[in-house]
Chains A and B, each alone.
Chain A
Amino acid sequence: MKVMAMRVTVNGEATDLPAGTSVADLIALLELEPRGIAVAVDGEVVTRRTWGERPLAAGERIEILSIAQGG
């Protein structure tokens, strides 16, 4: 059976993901080291312990942030 795709925005870029992808799945898919990372979906912070329970939906804007140099 073909997995349905959904289009979301990840850090400003349109991205197609399999339907039902969670925040945790997305982090794994992007091969990101989870430590030192924070995620917001449509402007709301998704706490680390709920990444696995937060399915993404078509049209959502996901921001994945890490620390950078700053004063």
Chain B
Amino acid sequence: MTAIELHSDPLVIAGEAFRSRLILGTGGAPNLDLLEEALTVSGTEITTVALRRVDPSAPGSLFELLRRTGIRPLPNTAGCFTARDAVRTAQLGREALETDWVKLEVVADERTLLPDPVELLDAAEQLVDDGFVVLAYTNDDPVLARRLEDAGVAAVMPLGSPIGSGMGIRNPYNLAMILEAAGVPVVLDAGIGTASDAARAMELGCDAVLLATAVTRARDPVGMADAMRRAVEAGRLARRAGRIPRRLYAEASTSDEGLADLG
């Protein structure tokens, strides 16, 4: 698949097509200038944002940055522990950004930031009923992924490992089960530490990768944004091209035929 074919291999979520399969979050960037450069270099067409109390003294405007770059903002419900709070926060995000899309995040505790399955499913059902396009951050649990899809979410977004841990994909076996069963896009969300993690997610068959910390807290966020863009593209190309089977022993790529007798 050439670069041109890559462009004809769009990521489609809720009927909308995107060329980039990397969703880069805005969280954790040291300043807005670096964030803008990292977003631009990453090629991302969707970026996550949070909702917080307005701070009139904050330098620069994230809102203006997004308008300037044309990157679609995806409001999240980060910091919500209950379905009730997540639904309210999603409604506020819809008001602030005039979008029905939401990254639904309902976590169980501060220490792990792991999704709370019960609250998550409850919130997903309420938001779908309210007309939202829900992209659900979830555990790497095939059953929960199925239940979320049954509830009508537009994408399931299983974690590779806890948010910000950089531990990569801890359960590729569960992820394979999610991918095998899913009828909606699967976005690997959380746990990516470096480029090879992102490439691996795509090689395993994920439709996209969502990451923030791995870029925004890298020593060189712009350099890492470039690496992630290439890793996601490489992983996608490798998945499409088909990897060779793993085998225990060597298999010569050079033929023995015509080998000289030097004895």
Contacts and interface: CB of A to CB of B under 8 A. Distances in A.
A69 B95 contact: no
B244 to A, nearest CB: 35
Contacts of B66: 67
B52 A43 contact: no
B88 A69 contact: no
B184 to A, nearest CB: 21
B138 interface: no
Contacts of B25: 70-71
Nearest to B62: A67
A30 to B, nearest CB: 7
Interface string B44-74: 0000111111111000011100100000010
B92 A40 contact: yes
A12 B51 CA distance: 15
A32 B56 contact: yes
A32 B25 CA distance: 25
A66 B54 contact: yes
A70 B95 CA distance: 17
Contact of B29 (A40, A43, A65, A69): A69
Contact of B78 (A38, A65, A70): A70
B53 A63 contact: yes
A56 interface: no
B42 interface: no
B57 to A, nearest CB: 12
Interface string A16-33: 000000000000001110
B71 to A, nearest CB: 12
Given A36-B97, A45-B88, A71-B78, A65 B28 contact: no
A37 interface: yes
Chain B CB within 10 A, most for which of A37, A47, A67? A67
A70 B96 contact: no
Interface of B: 25-29, 35, 48-56, 61-63, 66, 73, 75-76, 78, 88, 91-97, 163-164, 190, 211-213
3 cross-chain pairs, A with B, having the tightest CB-CB distances, nearest first:
A70-B50, A71-B27, A71-B212
13 contacts: A11-B53, A32-B56, A38-B95, A38-B96, A65-B51, A65-B53, A65-B92, A65-B96, A67-B49, A68-B49, A68-B55, A71-B163, A71-B212
